[in-house]
């Protein structure tokens, strides 16, 4: 039985990280309109669904968006209910560590007791009540363990070689349950991922974190004072040169000394997808139907005898007809058409490089 969290949620904050471009879902997701601003699954954009998913666990006035100057105006249009002062803008992308330093310092200045839960803007979650329970559990844990950094660990439901995993160690808390971290594993082979699935020691790493803002700032300052001091200089001066002096580091948790600021995993049971590529989106959409081998589609589409394929089109006036396909992805936009074997989703990065090499940047 999960211990009820305090009724006082005034220090609960959520930061939705929305600075990525999501180019692995090209040609729908572009630099100008990344996947968090797209309606891949339902009738709402992924970022809108993310805000809605938070429910009452976080007061509306405590929901923040972390993004870059490239997407700030679009986000303001998409999320008019979020106050402009809650949209924290990196003038130039400097990696996730600097982004975390920036929004943690902004929120800490407004509320020194703030506890921040961070989540991606472009994930799909089913089982929203389970998500909210996990969210409440992380806040409960951090309120009693202020020097810890908590991560949500999602119980794997199938072997996936494209995701990161966390191996847990000892149980360190009973209510809510929490475990210490033994190690992180990035993208294991499918055979190894299958073995992980058969144990209770491995969780998917969704990069959802919860921490007291003061603790993260302290941990960053101990690891590298430039991470905090240069960002503080920027917040005071508004000078982008100060911001550029902050060291560019991609992995926010690897920066922290875990012996001083222990990492804890809070298990979560909701269904989750990072929609990292077309194959992942196909698996997500096909899993929503009664027949997982059917063709998942969006747009005007008729099929005869195809299996395990995905057809998506922006043009509702154009019929796409398919016959006898297997493991094929078709994506139609106004200016580009992608036809791809489902098992080559990871090759999109090389395709985009080829497009860039041919000076066809308007298609990026």
The pLDDT, as a whole number, for residue 276 is: 81
In tens, the pLDDT along 249-300 reads: 878 888 899 999 999 999 998 888 888 888 888 888 876 544 556 687 778 8
Helices (H), the chain: 46-53, 72-78, 96-110, 128-144, 190-197, 213-223, 225-237, 240-244, 278-287, 348-357
Closest CA relative to residue 153, chosen from 5, 253, 63: 253
Q: pLDDT digit string (tens) for 87-146?
A: 999 999 888 999 999 999 999 999 999 999 999 998 989 889 999 999 999 999 999 999
Range of weakest confidence among 138-147, 153-162, 241-250: 153-162
Q: How far apart are CA 285 and CA 229, in angstroms?
A: 45
Q: Is 246 helix (H, G, I), strand (E, B) or coil?
A: coil
Cα separation of 211 and 232, whole Å? 19
**Residues 4-31 as b or e (16 or more Cβ within 10 Å = b):** ebeeebebbbbbbbbbbbbbbbbbbbbe
CB 218 within 8 A of CB 105: no
Mean pLDDT (the chain, rounded)? 90
| Predicted pLDDT of residue 280 | 84
Looking at residues 308-315, what average pLDDT do you find? Answer: 88
Q: Which residues contact 84 (CB under 8 A, 6 or more apart)?
A: 76
d(CA 20, CA 68): 9
pLDDT of 31 above 90: no
> Do the bridges between strand 328-332 and strand 337-341 make them parallel or antiparallel, or are there none, so unpaired?
antiparallel
Give the pLDDT score at 286: 77
Split at pLDDT 50, 70, 90, the class of 245 is very high
| Cβ atoms of 234 and 240 closer than 8 Å | yes
pLDDT number for residue 100:
96
What pLDDT sits at residue 22?
A: 72
Tell me what the mean pLDDT of segment 65-81 comes to: 92
Q: Is 80 exceeded by the pLDDT of residue 6?
A: no
pTM for the model stands at 0.89
Fold classification of 12-273 is Spore Coat Polysaccharide Biosynthesis Protein SpsA; Chain A (3.90.550)
More confident residue, 281 or 147: 147
Omega of the bond leading into 27 within 30 degrees of 0 (cis)? yes
What is the rounded average pLDDT of the residues 161-188? 92
Per-residue confidence band for 1, with pLDDT thresholds at 50, 70 and 90: very low
For the cut 60, the answer to whether the pLDDT of residue 302 exceeds it is yes
CATH 3.90.550.10 intervals, the chain: 12-273
What integer pLDDT is reported at residue 166 of this predicted model?
Answer: 95
Q: How confident is the model at residue 39 (pLDDT cuts 50, 70, 90)?
A: confident
pLDDT at 293: 64
- Please count the CA atoms within 13 angstroms of the CA of 43 that sit on its side-chain side: 0
């Amino acid at each position: 039985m999960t211990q009820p969290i305090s009724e006082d949620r005034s220090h609960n904050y959520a930061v939705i990280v929305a600075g990525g471009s999501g180019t692995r879902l090209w040609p729908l997701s572009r630099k100008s309109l990344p996947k968090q601003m797209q309606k891949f699954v339902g009738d709402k954009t992924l970022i809108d669904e993310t805000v809605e998913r938070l429910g009452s666990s976080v007061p509306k006035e405590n929901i923040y968006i972390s993004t870059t100057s490239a997407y700030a105006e679009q986000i303001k249009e998409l999320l008019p209910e979020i106050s402009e002062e809650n949209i924290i803008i990196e003038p130039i992308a400097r990696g996730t560590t600097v982004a975390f330093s920036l929004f943690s310092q902004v929120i800490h200045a407004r509320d020194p007791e703030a506890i921040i839960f961070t989540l991606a803007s472009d994930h799909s979650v089913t089982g929203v009540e389970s998500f909210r329970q996990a969210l409440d559990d992380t806040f409960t844990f951090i309120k009693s363990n202020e020097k810890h950094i908590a991560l949500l660990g999602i119980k794997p439901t199938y072997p996936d070689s494209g995701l990161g995993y966390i191996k847990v160690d000892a149980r360190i808390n009973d209510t809510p349950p929490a475990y210490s971290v033994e190690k992180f594993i990035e993208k294991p082979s499918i055979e190894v991922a299958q073995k992980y699935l058969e144990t209770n020691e491995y969780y998917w790493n969704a990069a959802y974190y919860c921490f007291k803002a003061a603790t993260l700032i302290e941990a960053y300052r101990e690891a590298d004072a430039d991470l905090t001091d240069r960002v503080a200089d920027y917040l005071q001066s508004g000078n982008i040169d100060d911001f550029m002096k902050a060291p560019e580091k991609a992995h926010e948790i690897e920066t922290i000394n875990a012996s001083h600021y222990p990492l804890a995993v809070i298990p979560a049971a909701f269904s989750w997808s990072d929609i990292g590529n077309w194959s992942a989106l196909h698996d997500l959409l096909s899993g929503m139907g009664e027949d997982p081998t059917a063709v998942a589609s969006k747009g005007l589409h008729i099929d005869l005898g195809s299996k395990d394929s995905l057809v998506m089109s922006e043009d509702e006036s154009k019929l796409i007809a398919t016959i006898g396909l297997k493991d094929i992805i078709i994506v139609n936009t106004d200016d580009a058409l992608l036809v791809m074997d489902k098992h080559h989703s990871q090759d999109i990065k090389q395709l985009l490089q080829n497009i860039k090499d041919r000076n066809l940047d308007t298609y990026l």
